[in-house]
Amino acid sequence: MSKFKKKKKGMPGISTASLPDIVFMLLFFFMVTTVMRETELKIKTPKLPQADQIQKLERKSLVSYIYVGKSKDGTAGDKIQLNDRVSNISDIKSFIFSERATHAEDEIPYLTTSIKADMEANVGTITDIKQELRDINALKINYSTRNGSALDNMK
């Protein structure tokens, strides 16, 4: 009898001693992979087109973003967002200059401008942006796309 009783009592609790270790491991993983979102979108989140000939953008610190999309209140036309406010085409130059000022001189040729534009945006807007970028010699650009079949863009 006493043998059975002993067995029931001896049901061991799960040791939680290694719990902090596990949690810390997860914590470090997320700390390393995390990228803080530095800008809040003031325009409607652009629906990026798809493409399959894509390259990864390396060194995110060298990338400045230009968002193109529709405004949230539904007014017509493409809106451009630089940093955290809706801007005009003519603001792009000063935006790039201010981006350059935050980098060392030898990094400037590697600065890339990523254009995150909505699928429904007009090519005219994109051309205007490119023209502004050419004017100030910011020649490296990247059309931001999702990975997928480019043929789906036409539907």
Partner 1 sequence: MAKKNRMSNEINAGSMADIAFLLLIFFLVTTTMDIDTGISRKLPEKQDPNITPPILKEKNVFEVLVNRRNEILVEGENFMQIEDLREATIKFIDNGGGKDENGEECTWCGGARDPESSDHPKKAVISLQSDRGTSYGTYIAVQNELVAAYSDLRNIYANNKFGENFDDLSDEEQKVIKKDIYPQIISEAEPTK
How many Å apart are CA 52 and CA 124, to the nearest integer? 24
Smallest gap from residue 140 Cβ to partner 1 (A): 6
Smallest gap from residue 96 Cβ to partner 1 (A): 13
Q: Is 89 in the site for partner 1 (CB under 8 A)?
A: no
Smallest gap from residue 45 Cβ to partner 1 (A): 12
Q: Is 61 in the site for partner 1 (CB under 8 A)?
A: no
Structure tokens of 123?
Answer: 């090519």
Binder of partner 1 out of 1, 11, 36, 104 (CB under 8 A): 36
Rounded to a whole number of angstroms, the CA Rg of the chain reads 25
At 145, the amino acid letter reads T
Say if residues 145 and 54 touch (Cβ distance below 8 Å).
yes
**Cα dihedral: 138, 140, 143, 146 (round 10):** -140
Say if residues 155 and 47 touch (Cβ distance below 8 Å).
no
Quote the DSSP letter at residue 119: T
Q: Tell how far CA 68 is from the center of its chain.
A: 14
Identify which of residues 86 and 119 has a Cβ nearer to partner 1 in the complex: 119
Q: Is 120 in the site for partner 1 (CB under 8 A)?
A: yes
Identify which of residues 94 and 127 has a Cβ nearer to partner 1 in the complex: 127
Smallest gap from residue 91 Cβ to partner 1 (A): 19
Say if residues 59 and 49 touch (Cβ distance below 8 Å).
no
Smallest gap from residue 59 Cβ to partner 1 (A): 11
The footprint of partner 1 (CB under 8 A) covers 16, 19-20, 23-24, 26-27, 30-31, 33-37, 49-57, 60, 63, 68, 112, 114, 117-124, 126-127, 130, 133-135, 137, 139-147, 150-151, 153-154
